[in-house]
Amino acid sequence: MNEEQLKQKVQGWIVFISSLILIGKFAAYWLTNSVGILTDAMESIVNVLAGAVSLYSLRWSAQPKDKSHPFGHGKMEQISASVEGILITFAGVLIVYEGVLHLFFPAGIQKLDIGIYIVAFSGLLNYLMGWYSVHIGKRYNSMALIAGGKHLQSDTYSTIGLVAGLLVLYFTGIAWIDSVLAFLFGGIIIVTGVSILRKTIANLLDKADEALLEDMASELNAKRSPDWIDIHNAKVIKYGNYLYMDCDLTLPWFYTIEKGHDEGAHLRQILEKKYADRIQLTIHLDPCTVFEQSKCRSCICKDCKTRKAAFEQAEPITLATFVEHADEVDR
């Protein structure tokens, strides 16, 4: 089973179990008539819908590149996560509305103990599913699985608070506590949805992932060739779990095309070993003569016969030097 099939299988199980949890929570609401339990049940609707969207997006994004989509279909995972964020936010708003409605028009609550048992067990299942989804998502860099898993985990945390509130309601019988629970957890759900939306929108707009770039720079710095004067102008775009990277590699000006190609291949091998087959790399080779004499002071190359300054200290590859452009370096 390849990683795309594994991701789809994980998401398929999440949708199936979420559907069972949805049925259980609505059964608990019908038994108890508690708006607090309704908040949990309504979020389960979001879990099922969002899970189904994620499953579809994973199948879509797994399709190979074609003439119309030369970079593949990986962006569909970002769209899926955005849809999930919108659904979560909408559910939070509805939950707050129901809380206000029940505050002014309270309904009798019954069989609360049974409802508490159902909600607590559902919360445990959600946590286990969420943990596994995030684990697989991080392992294969799937935004859809990570977003879905974090949503399920946040659902579990709110369920813990909900169960605590329902226990207080059960032992005190104070009816307005039910509406307060709806306000509180509806607000938490809204914050979760907005947070997911902000992250997915940033990814759709190809915002630079500084953590990823820093990780790459660190890896290359540790394994750099003595003839790499520097690496700059690095850009990485994510399409699903694939990474498309451009960068400029500065080499001694007297290198032949063949020697320059070999050094570029070495750089490619380092990144492919680090990121497996998920990275597609385009390298532009720059001759060192485009830079100021100060570059000679950081050049490790031992075979250069045209040095303009003695070697002093190698310039490490850092996030700052990794992403800067050639015209910035010139200045």
pLDDT digits (tens, 9 = 90+) for 4-19: 677 778 778 888 888 8
Cα 205 to its chain centre, rounded Å, is 14
Q: Tell me, what's the pLDDT at 201?
A: 73
Mean pLDDT of 241-267: 85
Residues 222 and 279 in one domain: yes
The band of 325, judged by pLDDT with boundaries at 50, 70 and 90, is low
Angle of helix 75-104 versus helix 35-61 axis, rounded to 10: 170
Asked if residue 87 has pLDDT above 50, the reply is yes
Mean pLDDT of 47-69: 69
Cα 31 to its chain centre, rounded Å, is 38
Strands 242-251 and 279-287: parallel
Q: Which two tokens stand for residue 326?
A: 């050639």
Residues 120 and 198 in one domain: yes
Q: Tell me, what's the pLDDT at 188?
A: 77
User: Residues 226-240, buried b or exposed e (16+ Cβ, 10 A)?
Assistant: ebbbbbbbbebbbbb
Residue predicted with more confidence, 189 or 277: 189
The percent of residues above 90 in pLDDT, for the chain, comes to 1
Q: Tell me, what's the pLDDT at 76?
A: 63
Residue predicted with more confidence, 27 or 173: 27
Residues 226 and 304 in one domain: yes
Q: Given 158, 178, 204, which residue is the final one in a domain? A: 204
Q: Tell me, what's the pLDDT at 191?
A: 84
Mean pLDDT of 314-329: 68
Residues 152 and 250 in one domain: no
Which residue range forms the structural domain that includes residue 287?
210-330
Mean pLDDT of 250-274: 87
Dihedral over Cα of 301, 302, 308, 312: its sign: positive
Residues 172 and 259 in one domain: no
The band of 203, judged by pLDDT with boundaries at 50, 70 and 90, is low
Mean pLDDT score across all residues of the chain = 76
Q: Tell me, what's the pLDDT at 115?
A: 83
Residue 72 backbone class (left: φ over 0; alpha: ψ -120 to 50; beta: rest): left
Q: Tell me, what's the pLDDT at 78?
A: 66
Q: Tell me, what's the pLDDT at 299?
A: 78
Q: Looking at the 3D structure of the chain, how many domains does it have?
A: 2
pLDDT tens, residue by residue, 213-250? 888 888 888 888 888 888 888 888 776 667 788 888 88
Q: Tell me, what's the pLDDT at 239?
A: 67
Residues 189 and 238 in one domain: no
* CATH classification at residue 48: 1.20.1510.10
Q: Tell me, what's the pLDDT at 331?
A: 43
The band of 330, judged by pLDDT with boundaries at 50, 70 and 90, is very low
Q: Tell me, what's the pLDDT at 60?
A: 67
Q: Tell me, what's the pLDDT at 258?
A: 92
Residues 216 and 194 in one domain: no
Residues 257 and 307 in one domain: yes
Residues in the chain, how many? Answer: 331
Q: Given 149, 180, 204, which residue is the final one in a domain? A: 204
State how far the Cα of 289 lies from the Cα of 283, in Å rounded to an integer.
18
The mean-pLDDT minimum among 110-124, 129-143, 245-259, 281-295 falls in 281-295
Residues 243 and 127 in one domain: no
Q: Given 204, 238, 255, which residue is the final one in a domain? A: 204
State how far the Cα of 96 lies from the Cα of 102, in Å rounded to an integer.
10
Residues 143 and 95 in one domain: yes
Residues 161 and 233 in one domain: no
Residues 232 and 319 in one domain: yes
Mean pLDDT of 254-272: 88
Listed residue (51, 41, 2, 50) closest to 21, CA to CA: 41
Asked if residue 328 has pLDDT above 60, the reply is no
